[in-house]
Structure 1
């Protein structure tokens, strides 16, 4: 990527100490930009000169306002509730994703920040329905149809970001220009949210079956392709690029629809495990996820366990949904590079992961399903029947 006006600018990255945020910050730093990492969690490694860490919470406007001083562009990456048990904490999801985004937008306006790139999600249009080669003309999924609170709040946040495009900046003749990127599932060596969980399932032999149709297709995006897309989007908000991305949303992926389980085959086999041959109906897995969420709702305040899968995760992994990159290619100049999971396999192997045991976990897992079902049946037996009052 050629040097542009991005060089020597100051960039604020909310969630900058996360996997993707730090990768983006490092790419910006290599081009000579100053980067401010705003995060509730401290960075896990020493920062190079020109990269600054500010510890803070996007729910606190005073902290956000301070972080936005003297900034040329904000990459708003921070969010909460994407997967696992986080998806079930509705209050925190709402506070971070909706109120936190409002704080970011307000700080941009009051501090004269002219550009904001928002990291959104496929989920703003997807809620379990089949989508084949969809594009940005698709409407938002109606809020009441979202199967999880994370997707609903990300929709609300994206709407707020795009609506703020063109807002006059305080004390300036300029306006705020915003855009949103909707990435697929992120992967790459060192990814810490999804891949370690998947590897733990592989090693515990939970990954002893697959589900859904073998013809179902989903998408992924390598972290470096997502970094490239964000940098291009920020450039496309400048006058030099005719503000062409202002007010726009873009789907971002590697551009290669693939069956979810086949995508992870190299990881499974690369770590020395056999790829599962048993295929279960998606309806059974969805029922199990529903029962698990019910149990978490009941006992979560006492024991906040990690669900094996949530209903949204079943949809996202087992139902076809993939999107066209045509708009991102045309307006941003986005061209995803070729990547595979071999670098991920090597990353895990270098940290001691790989086949070490032969314990048949599947049957224990099926017994757990029966236990969960029985527990729910007992709980429901204590609930009042309609009309029994």
Structure 2
């Protein structure tokens, strides 16, 4: 049945687009948008979609690390969006072997299959992290060099950098069927948000509801960026169009930073979500160095007991940098070359999404009660951190 669907798609007049990693939040949103534009879509993912598929959207369950599966699915495709990755946040960041397999070997499989089967366009979803490793970046642009691989604080960022370099290097490779050249580009998005996002926002809401979100950290003037899912969809569609002959392959071999274009303090960005769910916004601010040290200890503990108990770290070192250190980028290149114009969004729709699913506090505790709880929580936090410090004179 699936083979018949793929053959039917190959023979249809509308072009077939493959989205690798297409069953996740962003991938499915991209598929829906492309479908509205008249394209036939194939989703390739390790897990099936959790939403009903529309007509002319097919699904192939497979492993990007298995070249035979990638090759079989890519036949007859006009354009590939490679958005699959592993190890972006939480405990996933600590599984180095799987991160390497998916992000590096998986990307090599996609590139090889594109060349072997005459796919002329490939859009790769990269990350800000290919140039960022904890250093301050203000209004950076695409002229910034890649961060040296040994300076990346996490394996995800390191492997995404390796993968992006491979994708851009492959631009201009002759296709084996003699039909032309492979044209590639890379988009480097900020943190994604929107109603229904399932990777970061549920984790944040969980911390809020469990009473863990009791403090903020870093300089209150530090600025980071986010991108609404619909803006990211728009950027991908524009990038794919800019790879076509009609657009003179304008985006071929290029990388683009993509965000909403509104730098903001990380914690202030989430204030509407916290307060919109009926919780008080933390008033206590801790030094980022202390939080980084705590994240380091947490990673060490996970390294020791992770094989037996794969717990979710409160924060990893990379997450501390990404949320507490200024790094934001210019959208000028994307606007000029792609015609990217991000629309303005807020967290109101995110708040409503969570409230419609039963989240949100019904009653507020007294200010005195909250203060006492904060004191107890922070005292316990400091006690844990200090317990790892060496005793002077020992």
Q: Give the TM-score, by structure 1 length.
A: 0.93
**2:113 corresponds to:** 107
User: Is 1:128 paired with 2:134?
Assistant: yes
How far did residue 366 of structure 1 move?
4.4
How far did residue 372 of structure 1 move?
5.6
Of 138, 162, 174 in structure 2, the residue corresponding to residue 168 of structure 1 is 174
Look up the SS of the partner of 2:43 in the other structure. Answer: strand
User: Is 1:370 paired with 2:383?
Assistant: yes
How far did residue 367 of structure 1 move?
1.6
Look up the SS of the partner of 2:44 in the other structure. Answer: strand
Q: Distance in 2 between matches of 1:371 and 1:183?
A: 35
**1:96 corresponds to:** 102
How far did residue 173 of structure 1 move?
3.7
Q: Distance in 1 between matches of 2:210 and 2:55?
A: 42
**1:4 corresponds to:** none
Q: Is the 8 A contact 2:21 2:44 kept in 1?
A: yes
Q: How does 1:13-32 map to 2 (within 5 A)?
A: 13-32=19-38
**2:299 corresponds to:** 293
Q: Is the 8 A contact 2:118 2:179 kept in 1?
A: no
**2:338 corresponds to:** 332
**1:159 corresponds to:** 165
Q: Distance in 2 between matches of 1:338 and 1:9?
A: 31
CA-to-aligned-CA distance 1:274-329 (integer Å, 9 cap, x gap): 11111111011011001100100111111110000000000000000000000000
Of 16, 31, 36 in structure 2, the residue corresponding to residue 10 of structure 1 is 16
CA-to-aligned-CA distance 1:129-179 (integer Å, 9 cap, x gap): 000000000000000000000000000000000000000001214010000
Q: Distance in 2 between matches of 1:313 and 1:341?
A: 21
Q: Is the 8 A contact 2:195 2:349 kept in 1?
A: yes
User: Is 1:34 paired with 2:40?
Assistant: yes
Count of residue pairs brought into register by the alignment:
373
Look up the SS of the partner of 2:181 in the other structure. Answer: coil
Q: Give the TM-score, by structure 2 length.
A: 0.92
Q: CA RMSD in A?
A: 1.6
Q: Distance in 2 between matches of 1:185 and 1:343?
A: 17
Q: Is the 8 A contact 1:292 1:372 kept in 2?
A: no
Of 177, 185, 188 in structure 2, the residue corresponding to residue 182 of structure 1 is 188
Q: Is the 8 A contact 1:285 1:314 kept in 2?
A: yes
**1:228 corresponds to:** 234
Q: Is the 8 A contact 1:288 1:369 kept in 2?
A: no
Q: Is the 8 A contact 1:291 1:373 kept in 2?
A: no
Q: Distance in 2 between matches of 1:98 and 1:338?
A: 34
How far did residue 209 of structure 1 move?
0.9
How far did residue 206 of structure 1 move?
1.3
Q: Distance in 1 between matches of 2:14 and 2:277?
A: 43
Change (3 A) 1:292 1:212: same
Q: Is the 8 A contact 1:219 1:256 kept in 2?
A: yes
The unaligned stretches of length 5 or more in structure 2 are 1-12
The unaligned stretches of length 5 or more in structure 1 are 1-6
Q: Distance in 1 between matches of 2:353 and 2:52?
A: 21
How far did residue 364 of structure 1 move?
3.6
How far did residue 94 of structure 1 move?
0.2
Q: Distance in 2 between matches of 1:105 and 1:343?
A: 37
Q: Distance in 2 between matches of 1:83 and 1:295?
A: 17
Q: How does 1:182-221 map to 2 (within 5 A)?
A: 182-221=188-227
Change (3 A) 1:342 1:63: same
Change (3 A) 1:9 1:306: same
Moved over 2 A (4+): 356-366, 368-374
User: Is 1:46 paired with 2:59?
Assistant: no
Look up the SS of the partner of 2:163 in the other structure. Answer: helix
Q: Distance in 1 between matches of 2:97 and 2:177?
A: 35
**1:3 corresponds to:** none
Look up the SS of the partner of 1:132 in the other structure. Answer: strand
Look up the SS of the partner of 1:117 in the other structure. Answer: strand
Look up the SS of the partner of 1:264 in the other structure. Answer: helix
Q: Distance in 2 between matches of 1:373 and 1:352?
A: 38
CA-to-aligned-CA distance 1:86-106 (integer Å, 9 cap, x gap): 000000000000000000000
Change (3 A) 1:369 1:60: farther
**2:66 corresponds to:** 60
Look up the SS of the partner of 1:348 in the other structure. Answer: helix
